[in-house]
Amino acid sequence: MGDPKKRRKQFEGPRKPWDKARIEEESKLEETYGLKNRKEIWRAKTAFRKKRHNARQLLGKKPEERERDEKDLVNSLVSLGVLNSGAVLDDILGLESKDLFERRLQTIVFRKNLANTIKQSRQFITHGHVAVNGKKVSIPGYLVKKAEEASINYYGKPMIIEAKKATLKSEEKDEGKKDLKKEFEEVKEAAETKEAEETEKETRKKVKVNE
């Protein structure tokens, strides 16, 4: 049975630890969703693996036997927001890890523009600045149900966040373009003025010679 005080591992690690394609994929997921470590990815993959396993088992049963269990399984994923209403068992087999990451509280806080970055979103949640249905939630990996999404907001006093860096960089880039354009026009105008002066000098010289 094992020691009851020791928690069981809630995920299965990769079978090929040094597979390059998998490592690159996980690195991208880790960066995109601001995950703390690879265990969060493996935990999501394990959860979906179990759902797909249940779906395959139900597909092997007769329609009258699987009807109730199929409805419960599909509805649980529809309420979570990873499947659309009217989905069937075959849709469960096509789910990916990122579908679950999109339902994490950390991701949704960022998507709702309550934080500038995905990492800042995690920081706000762990520090107790985010609420779901008016209750403080300090777990970044909390899976938000579709019905709860609209209720996500700051807990207590609203956080004051700076303007997004991407916006600032864009504005600086635009200002830089304006400065370059202005400088180009000034140089062009100066060159045209100089050319006009030289043309005038040449004309005067020709006039004097003719005289």
- pLDDT computed for residue 167 by the predictor: 44
pLDDT in tens, 162-181: 765 544 455 455 555 555 55
Q: Which of 13-27, 84-98, 101-115, 155-169 shows the highest mean pLDDT?
A: 101-115
- pLDDT computed for residue 172 by the predictor: 52
Residue 89 has pLDDT above 70, yes or no: yes
pTM of the model: 0.69
d(CA 111, CA 126): 17
186 to each of 153, 179, 190, 191, 195, how far by Cα in Å? 51, 10, 6, 9, 14
- pLDDT computed for residue 210 by the predictor: 55
- pLDDT computed for residue 168 by the predictor: 41
pLDDT in tens, 125-146: 999 999 999 999 999 999 999 9
- pLDDT computed for residue 174 by the predictor: 59
Mean pLDDT computed over 54-76: 87
Residue 78 contacts residue 84 (beta carbons within 8 Å): yes
Residue 13 has pLDDT above 70, yes or no: yes
* Kind of pairing between the strands at 153-154 and 130-132: antiparallel
Phi, psi (deg, nearest 5) at residue 73: -65, -45
Query: Which residue in 122, 124, 123 sits closest to 154, CA to CA?
Result: 124
Among the ranges given (81-90, 108-117, 156-165, 170-179), the one the predictor scored with the smallest mean pLDDT: 170-179
**DSSP 8-state assignment for residue 143:** B
